[in-house]
Amino acid sequence: MLGLRTQIHPNTIRQLFFLALLIFMGFIILKELYFMLTAFLGAVTLYVILLYPKRILTIKYNWPAWIAALFLMAASVAIMILPVAYLTSVGVEMLSPVIKNPEILTNAFDQIHIFMINQFGIDVFNPDNVSKITDQVLPFTQKTLGSTMSVFGNIVLMYLVLYFLLVQTRDVELWLKRTLPFKTANTKKVISEVRNLVYSNALGIPIVAIIQGIVAIIGYSIFGVKEFLLMGLLTAISSVIPIVGTMLVYVPLAIFQYSKYGVFSGVGVGIWGFAVIGSVDNVARFLVQKKLADVHPLITMLGVFMGVSLFGFMGIIFGPLLLSVFFMLTQIYINEFGKVDANNPDKGVNYEED
């Protein structure tokens, strides 16, 4: 027995060598094309959103695939890209003074701090706490806004990829079905779940943010907030942060308005924030998630921070999407390749029966 030697089959050696070569080449390619990752994710996201309208144009109305693709691309630019570009440019212009001179934000918190100490004896917005907040928030904001130009620089590349995806839809679907290492039923399930997650993140997050931003602007203008457009934009952006969300904006704003402009302005902003903006958030999220995939708030929060770090501004959408897809694929893998219980052979492989 000791004299026997275990030999590795030549086919196994060739397979391992081939896998190592693929991993090495894949690493080199990914490293060199990393700058295209945002454009590629954007193209895939728009492809999922535009796929159904494209099928209507090509199947029902017999449009050539390339004409349908160009039409939908132009429509997406007019409906999504141009408004987002405009709002982003406005936000960058409004926030640039604060980003360049953080003392503006610090001074505002100092006023709130003095007011809270004098009126209520509450020491929340002291210099140490404000410093911690600015140390965390400002780099996050700088990274988000600083990558804005690179995002717009990738738009042309994104639409180039999107064009080929829309024109060669059948080839894309066949490639997915042949490439995904799952059973046919689970492959369909993966495609369906990814589609729902894209809708939920790429449409649900902006829809809720826009609704809250509009409602906030209306309330802030009523109660005399001078920079009501900027505050409304910040409220919309903060809506992507679960649990605290828009309170990060309207709570300090209400205290500031109360200390500087009186009871009507401060209490009005506070009531509007809790009663109206908060209610709109709950209702909008409920209606959106009822129609789309229900993404856990923790996934959204972690995904936003991860996404902004990786992709900048567009990470607000791509971060939660990637994290959601990761957990979904993990569950698919467990159901597909998990161990089968000897006493219950069907346990662990019932995903495709849903």
H, E, C per residue of 230-292 = HHHHHHHHHCCCCCCCCHHHHHHHHHHHHHHHCHHHHHHHHHHHHHHHHHHHHHHHHHHHHHC
Reference 312, options 32, 38, 88, 64; nearest CA is 38
More confident residue, 214 or 119: 214
Lowest average pLDDT, out of 146-150, 237-241, 250-254, goes to 146-150
pLDDT for residue 213 is more than 80:
yes
Q: Distance (Å, rounded) from C-alpha 131 to C-alpha 102?
A: 10
Query: Tell me, what's the pLDDT at 122?
Result: 64
Tokens of 38: 């945002």
Lowest average pLDDT, out of 49-58, 103-112, 124-133, 196-205, goes to 124-133
Residue 285: inside a domain, yes or no? Answer: no
Query: Tell me, what's the pLDDT at 348?
Result: 45
More confident residue, 149 or 226: 226
Furthest CA-CA distance within the chain: 92
Q: Mean pLDDT of all residues in the chain? A: 77
Per-residue confidence at 350, pLDDT binned at 50, 70, 90? very low
Percent of the chain at pLDDT exceeding 70: 73
Give the list of residues 6+ apart from residue 297 with CB closer than 8 angstroms, or none.
Answer: 242, 243
Q: Which residues of 248-281 are buried (b: 16+ CB within 10 A; e: fewer)?
A: bbbbbbbbbbbbebeeebbebbbebbeebbbebb
- Cβ contact 270:239 at 8 Å: no
- H-helix segments, the chain: 10-32, 37-55, 65-76, 82-100, 103-120, 127-146, 148-153, 155-167, 169-179, 184-198, 205-222, 228-238, 247-261, 263-271, 278-291, 297-311, 315-337
Residue 175: inside a domain, yes or no? Answer: yes
Residue 314: inside a domain, yes or no? Answer: no
Per-residue confidence at 53, pLDDT binned at 50, 70, 90? very high
pLDDT digits (tens, 9 = 90+) for 172-191: 888 877 777 777 777 777 77
Lowest average pLDDT, out of 14-23, 189-198, 206-215, goes to 189-198
Reference 205, options 321, 312, 46; nearest CA is 321
Per-residue confidence at 345, pLDDT binned at 50, 70, 90? very low
pLDDT for residue 219 is more than 90:
yes
Residue 86: inside a domain, yes or no? Answer: yes
Query: Tell me, what's the pLDDT at 322?
Result: 83
Across 262-284, average pLDDT: 86
pLDDT for residue 142 is more than 60:
no
Percent of the chain at pLDDT exceeding 90: 14
* 10-19, 23-32, 86-95, 312-321 — most confident range: 23-32
Give the list of residues 6+ apart from residue 6 with CB closer than 8 angstroms, or none.
Answer: none
Residue 114: inside a domain, yes or no? Answer: yes
Residue 142: inside a domain, yes or no? Answer: yes
pLDDT for residue 218 is more than 90:
yes
Residue 243: inside a domain, yes or no? Answer: no
Per-residue confidence at 233, pLDDT binned at 50, 70, 90? confident
Residue 122: inside a domain, yes or no? Answer: yes
- Domains: count for the chain: 1
More confident residue, 275 or 6: 275
Q: Distance (Å, rounded) from C-alpha 174 to C-alpha 40?
A: 19
- Cβ contact 335:328 at 8 Å: no
Query: Tell me, what's the pLDDT at 39?
Result: 84
Q: Distance (Å, rounded) from C-alpha 239 to C-alpha 278?
A: 10
Q: Distance (Å, rounded) from C-alpha 72 to C-alpha 88?
A: 23
Across 16-30, average pLDDT: 87
Range of the domain at 149: 35-179
Across 230-238, average pLDDT: 84
- Cβ contact 209:267 at 8 Å: no
- Cβ contact 318:307 at 8 Å: yes
